[in-house]
Amino acid sequence: METPEQRIKVAVQKTGRLTDHSIDLLERCGLVLTKSKDQLICYGENMPIDLLLVRDDDIPALVGDDVCDLGIVGLNVVEEKRLSMEQNGSKGQFKQIFELEFGHCRLSIAAPDEARYEGHNSLEKTKIATSYVGLLTDFLTKNNIDAEPVYFSGAVEIAPKLGRADFICDLVSTGSTLKANGLSEVETLLQSEAVVIQTLAPLSDEKQALVDKILQRLAGVLRVHDSKYIMLHAPRSALADIRALLPGSEAPTVMPLEGNDDKVAIHAVCRENVFWETLENLKAAGASSLLVLPVEKMLA
Protein backbone atom coordinates (compact mmCIF):
# COMPACT_ATOMS: atom_id res chain seq x y z
CA MET A 1 0.00 0.00 0.00
CA GLU A 2 1.33 3.42 -0.93
CA THR A 3 1.97 6.00 1.78
CA PRO A 4 1.20 9.76 1.54
CA GLU A 5 4.94 10.34 1.10
CA GLN A 6 4.88 8.26 -2.09
CA ARG A 7 2.19 10.38 -3.73
CA ILE A 8 3.06 13.34 -5.96
CA LYS A 9 1.66 16.64 -4.70
CA VAL A 10 0.89 19.43 -7.17
CA ALA A 11 0.07 22.94 -5.94
CA VAL A 12 -2.62 24.68 -8.00
CA GLN A 13 -4.37 28.03 -7.59
CA LYS A 14 -7.55 27.53 -5.54
CA THR A 15 -9.58 30.25 -7.25
CA GLY A 16 -8.62 32.57 -10.08
CA ARG A 17 -7.91 32.77 -13.76
CA LEU A 18 -5.52 29.78 -13.77
CA THR A 19 -7.62 27.33 -11.74
CA ASP A 20 -9.91 25.81 -14.38
CA HIS A 21 -7.19 25.75 -17.04
CA SER A 22 -4.75 24.00 -14.68
CA ILE A 23 -7.18 21.29 -13.59
CA ASP A 24 -8.44 20.76 -17.15
CA LEU A 25 -4.86 20.38 -18.38
CA LEU A 26 -4.08 17.71 -15.78
CA GLU A 27 -7.31 15.88 -16.59
CA ARG A 28 -6.34 15.91 -20.26
CA CYS A 29 -3.14 14.18 -19.15
CA GLY A 30 -5.30 11.28 -17.97
CA LEU A 31 -5.67 12.18 -14.31
CA VAL A 32 -9.07 11.34 -12.75
CA LEU A 33 -9.73 13.60 -9.76
CA THR A 34 -12.06 13.62 -6.76
CA LYS A 35 -12.37 16.68 -4.51
CA SER A 36 -12.17 16.42 -0.74
CA LYS A 37 -15.08 17.60 1.40
CA ASP A 38 -13.27 20.80 2.32
CA GLN A 39 -12.54 21.45 -1.39
CA LEU A 40 -8.84 22.00 -0.61
CA ILE A 41 -7.46 18.77 -2.08
CA CYS A 42 -8.19 16.85 -5.28
CA TYR A 43 -7.21 13.19 -5.00
CA GLY A 44 -6.00 11.30 -8.04
CA GLU A 45 -8.08 8.14 -8.38
CA ASN A 46 -6.07 6.42 -11.09
CA MET A 47 -2.60 7.78 -10.32
CA PRO A 48 -0.84 8.61 -7.02
CA ILE A 49 -1.10 12.34 -7.64
CA ASP A 50 -2.92 14.87 -5.47
CA LEU A 51 -3.66 18.54 -6.11
CA LEU A 52 -3.42 21.06 -3.28
CA LEU A 53 -5.72 24.00 -3.97
CA VAL A 54 -4.00 27.04 -2.44
CA ARG A 55 -3.41 30.76 -2.92
CA ASP A 56 -1.21 31.41 -5.94
CA ASP A 57 1.19 33.52 -3.82
CA ASP A 58 1.86 30.46 -1.66
CA ILE A 59 2.73 28.07 -4.50
CA PRO A 60 6.45 28.95 -4.97
CA ALA A 61 7.07 28.58 -1.20
CA LEU A 62 5.18 25.27 -1.02
CA VAL A 63 7.28 23.89 -3.87
CA GLY A 64 10.50 25.49 -2.61
CA ASP A 65 9.97 24.02 0.87
CA ASP A 66 9.33 20.56 -0.62
CA VAL A 67 5.74 20.46 0.66
CA CYS A 68 4.70 20.00 -2.99
CA ASP A 69 6.69 18.39 -5.77
CA LEU A 70 5.22 20.49 -8.59
CA GLY A 71 3.31 23.73 -8.90
CA ILE A 72 1.33 25.48 -11.63
CA VAL A 73 1.45 29.24 -11.20
CA GLY A 74 1.86 32.48 -13.12
CA LEU A 75 5.37 33.54 -14.08
CA ASN A 76 4.65 36.91 -12.44
CA VAL A 77 4.23 35.17 -9.07
CA VAL A 78 7.36 33.05 -9.60
CA GLU A 79 9.52 36.05 -10.47
CA GLU A 80 8.14 38.18 -7.63
CA LYS A 81 8.87 35.42 -5.11
CA ARG A 82 12.34 34.79 -6.56
CA LEU A 83 13.26 38.47 -6.29
CA SER A 84 11.84 38.67 -2.78
CA MET A 85 13.98 35.72 -1.72
CA GLU A 86 17.09 37.17 -3.33
CA GLN A 87 16.52 40.52 -1.61
CA ASN A 88 16.33 38.63 1.71
CA GLY A 89 19.61 36.83 0.98
CA SER A 90 18.10 33.43 0.15
CA LYS A 91 17.51 31.50 -3.04
CA GLY A 92 14.31 29.91 -4.31
CA GLN A 93 14.51 26.14 -3.99
CA PHE A 94 12.52 25.47 -7.14
CA LYS A 95 13.15 25.39 -10.86
CA GLN A 96 10.94 26.39 -13.75
CA ILE A 97 10.18 23.48 -16.09
CA PHE A 98 8.21 24.95 -19.03
CA GLU A 99 5.49 27.37 -20.05
CA LEU A 100 1.88 26.22 -20.36
CA GLU A 101 0.54 28.59 -23.04
CA PHE A 102 -2.39 29.93 -21.01
CA GLY A 103 -2.89 32.66 -18.43
CA HIS A 104 -1.20 35.25 -20.64
CA CYS A 105 -0.93 38.72 -19.16
CA ARG A 106 1.68 41.40 -18.59
CA LEU A 107 2.95 43.43 -15.67
CA SER A 108 2.81 47.06 -16.73
CA ILE A 109 3.17 50.56 -15.40
CA ALA A 110 0.10 52.67 -16.16
CA ALA A 111 -0.37 56.42 -16.00
CA PRO A 112 -3.51 58.54 -15.58
CA ASP A 113 -4.81 59.66 -18.97
CA GLU A 114 -4.27 63.31 -18.06
CA ALA A 115 -0.59 62.71 -17.21
CA ARG A 116 2.01 63.51 -19.85
CA TYR A 117 4.34 60.52 -20.06
CA GLU A 118 7.67 61.10 -21.81
CA GLY A 119 9.67 58.01 -20.93
CA HIS A 120 11.55 57.01 -17.79
CA ASN A 121 12.19 60.63 -16.82
CA SER A 122 8.47 60.99 -16.13
CA LEU A 123 8.80 58.42 -13.33
CA GLU A 124 11.49 60.35 -11.45
CA LYS A 125 10.54 61.40 -7.91
CA THR A 126 7.10 59.80 -8.19
CA LYS A 127 5.18 57.20 -6.21
CA ILE A 128 4.08 53.99 -7.95
CA ALA A 129 1.40 51.82 -6.35
CA THR A 130 1.81 48.06 -6.79
CA SER A 131 1.48 44.66 -5.17
CA TYR A 132 4.61 43.59 -7.09
CA VAL A 133 7.20 45.53 -5.13
CA GLY A 134 10.04 43.16 -6.01
CA LEU A 135 9.56 43.29 -9.77
CA LEU A 136 8.95 47.05 -9.74
CA THR A 137 12.02 47.71 -7.58
CA ASP A 138 14.12 45.55 -9.91
CA PHE A 139 12.88 47.53 -12.92
CA LEU A 140 13.58 50.88 -11.27
CA THR A 141 17.06 49.82 -10.16
CA LYS A 142 18.07 48.46 -13.58
CA ASN A 143 16.92 51.69 -15.25
CA ASN A 144 18.38 54.04 -12.63
CA ILE A 145 14.98 55.54 -11.87
CA ASP A 146 14.51 57.32 -8.55
CA ALA A 147 10.89 56.47 -7.75
CA GLU A 148 9.14 55.07 -4.67
CA PRO A 149 7.19 51.79 -4.86
CA VAL A 150 4.10 51.98 -2.64
CA TYR A 151 2.67 48.62 -1.61
CA PHE A 152 -1.04 48.51 -2.43
CA SER A 153 -3.11 45.38 -1.92
CA GLY A 154 -6.19 44.91 -4.11
CA ALA A 155 -7.71 47.51 -6.48
CA VAL A 156 -4.35 49.11 -7.35
CA GLU A 157 -5.97 51.05 -10.19
CA ILE A 158 -7.74 53.43 -7.78
CA ALA A 159 -4.50 54.53 -6.05
CA PRO A 160 -4.01 57.68 -8.20
CA LYS A 161 -7.61 58.79 -7.57
CA LEU A 162 -7.05 58.38 -3.84
CA GLY A 163 -3.91 60.50 -4.02
CA ARG A 164 -1.75 57.58 -2.88
CA ALA A 165 0.38 57.37 -6.00
CA ASP A 166 1.20 59.06 -9.31
CA PHE A 167 1.35 55.79 -11.32
CA ILE A 168 0.43 52.16 -10.81
CA CYS A 169 2.18 48.89 -11.67
CA ASP A 170 -0.22 45.98 -12.07
CA LEU A 171 -1.15 42.95 -14.16
CA VAL A 172 -2.93 43.73 -17.41
CA SER A 173 -4.86 41.29 -19.56
CA THR A 174 -7.33 43.10 -21.80
CA GLY A 175 -6.71 46.61 -20.48
CA SER A 176 -10.42 47.21 -19.88
CA THR A 177 -9.96 47.78 -16.13
CA LEU A 178 -7.29 50.39 -16.78
CA LYS A 179 -9.48 52.15 -19.33
CA ALA A 180 -12.44 52.17 -16.96
CA ASN A 181 -10.29 53.93 -14.38
CA GLY A 182 -8.78 56.49 -16.74
CA LEU A 183 -5.37 54.81 -17.01
CA SER A 184 -3.12 53.86 -19.94
CA GLU A 185 -0.14 51.50 -20.14
CA VAL A 186 3.21 53.24 -20.54
CA GLU A 187 5.80 50.54 -19.70
CA THR A 188 5.78 46.72 -19.78
CA LEU A 189 7.95 45.03 -17.14
CA LEU A 190 7.13 41.37 -17.71
CA GLN A 191 5.22 39.15 -20.12
CA SER A 192 3.64 36.41 -18.03
CA GLU A 193 1.88 33.08 -18.49
CA ALA A 194 1.27 29.94 -16.44
CA VAL A 195 4.38 27.84 -15.83
CA VAL A 196 5.26 24.56 -14.13
CA ILE A 197 7.79 24.69 -11.29
CA GLN A 198 9.44 21.73 -9.55
CA THR A 199 11.13 21.34 -6.20
CA LEU A 200 14.92 21.09 -6.15
CA ALA A 201 14.73 18.51 -3.37
CA PRO A 202 15.79 15.03 -4.56
CA LEU A 203 12.93 12.65 -5.27
CA SER A 204 12.90 8.89 -4.97
CA ASP A 205 13.33 7.00 -8.24
CA GLU A 206 9.64 6.06 -8.18
CA LYS A 207 8.45 9.63 -7.63
CA GLN A 208 10.86 11.05 -10.21
CA ALA A 209 9.62 8.52 -12.77
CA LEU A 210 6.04 9.62 -12.09
CA VAL A 211 6.97 13.31 -12.31
CA ASP A 212 8.71 12.62 -15.63
CA LYS A 213 5.60 10.83 -16.90
CA ILE A 214 3.32 13.75 -15.97
CA LEU A 215 5.69 16.28 -17.55
CA GLN A 216 5.87 14.18 -20.72
CA ARG A 217 2.09 14.06 -20.90
CA LEU A 218 1.85 17.80 -20.31
CA ALA A 219 4.27 18.36 -23.16
CA GLY A 220 2.21 16.02 -25.35
CA VAL A 221 -1.01 17.93 -24.67
CA LEU A 222 0.65 21.31 -25.20
CA ARG A 223 2.37 20.19 -28.38
CA VAL A 224 -0.97 19.91 -30.15
CA HIS A 225 -2.52 23.09 -28.75
CA ASP A 226 -4.75 24.46 -31.55
CA SER A 227 -3.41 21.73 -33.85
CA LYS A 228 -5.58 20.00 -36.43
CA TYR A 229 -5.19 16.74 -38.36
CA ILE A 230 -5.96 17.23 -42.05
CA MET A 231 -6.73 14.45 -44.50
CA LEU A 232 -7.32 15.10 -48.20
CA HIS A 233 -6.90 13.78 -51.72
CA ALA A 234 -4.86 15.65 -54.29
CA PRO A 235 -3.48 15.24 -57.82
CA ARG A 236 0.19 14.25 -57.82
CA SER A 237 0.87 17.26 -60.04
CA ALA A 238 -0.43 19.60 -57.31
CA LEU A 239 1.53 18.04 -54.45
CA ALA A 240 4.06 20.89 -54.12
CA ASP A 241 1.31 23.54 -54.08
CA ILE A 242 -0.72 21.57 -51.51
CA ARG A 243 2.28 21.20 -49.20
CA ALA A 244 2.93 24.93 -49.32
CA LEU A 245 -0.64 25.68 -48.26
CA LEU A 246 -0.71 23.41 -45.20
CA PRO A 247 -0.30 25.78 -42.20
CA GLY A 248 2.48 25.04 -39.72
CA SER A 249 2.89 21.50 -40.99
CA GLU A 250 5.93 19.27 -40.90
CA ALA A 251 6.48 16.92 -43.85
CA PRO A 252 3.03 15.40 -44.53
CA THR A 253 2.37 11.71 -45.07
CA VAL A 254 1.71 11.00 -48.75
CA MET A 255 0.11 7.68 -49.74
CA PRO A 256 -0.99 6.30 -53.11
CA LEU A 257 -4.70 5.83 -53.75
CA GLU A 258 -5.75 2.33 -54.76
CA GLY A 259 -6.70 2.22 -58.44
CA ASN A 260 -5.77 5.85 -59.14
CA ASP A 261 -2.18 6.53 -60.13
CA ASP A 262 -2.82 10.24 -60.69
CA LYS A 263 -3.96 11.02 -57.11
CA VAL A 264 -2.54 10.64 -53.62
CA ALA A 265 -3.90 10.82 -50.07
CA ILE A 266 -2.23 13.41 -47.82
CA HIS A 267 -2.33 13.36 -44.02
CA ALA A 268 -0.76 16.16 -41.98
CA VAL A 269 -0.72 17.59 -38.47
CA CYS A 270 -1.04 21.36 -38.76
CA ARG A 271 0.19 23.22 -35.67
CA GLU A 272 -1.59 26.41 -36.56
CA ASN A 273 -5.27 27.24 -36.85
CA VAL A 274 -6.93 25.91 -39.98
CA PHE A 275 -9.39 28.50 -41.27
CA TRP A 276 -12.11 28.17 -43.92
CA GLU A 277 -9.89 30.22 -46.21
CA THR A 278 -7.19 27.56 -45.82
CA LEU A 279 -9.56 24.83 -46.94
CA GLU A 280 -10.85 26.94 -49.82
CA ASN A 281 -7.29 27.60 -51.00
CA LEU A 282 -6.46 23.89 -50.78
CA LYS A 283 -9.57 23.05 -52.80
CA ALA A 284 -8.66 25.68 -55.40
CA ALA A 285 -5.23 24.05 -55.70
CA GLY A 286 -6.87 20.74 -56.56
CA ALA A 287 -7.52 19.09 -53.17
CA SER A 288 -10.70 17.11 -52.60
CA SER A 289 -12.34 15.05 -49.82
CA LEU A 290 -10.93 17.40 -47.18
CA LEU A 291 -11.41 16.37 -43.57
CA VAL A 292 -10.20 18.33 -40.50
CA LEU A 293 -10.06 16.69 -37.07
CA PRO A 294 -8.96 18.01 -33.64
CA VAL A 295 -5.83 16.54 -32.05
CA GLU A 296 -6.03 15.79 -28.33
CA LYS A 297 -2.51 14.65 -27.55
CA MET A 298 0.72 13.59 -29.25
CA LEU A 299 3.99 12.08 -28.03
CA ALA A 300 7.12 12.79 -30.05
Residue-wise pLDDT tens digits, 221-257: 887 777 788 999 999 999 889 988 887 767 789 999 8
Torsion of CA 185, 187, 193, 198, to 10 degrees: -140
Q: Is the pLDDT of residue 7 over 70?
A: yes
- Residue pair 73/195 in contact (Cβ under 8 Å)? The answer is yes
**Alpha-carbon span 223 to 33, nearest angstrom:** 23
The share of the chain scoring above pLDDT 90, in percent, equals: 59
> Distance from first CA to last CA of the chain, Å, rounded?
33
The share of the chain scoring above pLDDT 70, in percent, equals: 95
Q: At what angle do helices 19-28 and 205-223 cross, to 10 degrees?
A: 100
**Alpha-carbon span 293 to 300, nearest angstrom:** 19
What Cα–Cα distance (Å) separates residue 205 from each residue in 6, 70, 209?
A: 11, 16, 6
Q: Is the pLDDT of residue 300 over 90?
A: no
If you average pLDDT over residues 164-175, what whole number do you get? 93
If you average pLDDT over residues 151-166, what whole number do you get? 91
Q: For the whole prediction, is pTM greater than 0.85?
A: no
Q: Give the pLDDT score at 290.
A: 92
Q: Is the pLDDT of residue 259 over 90?
A: no
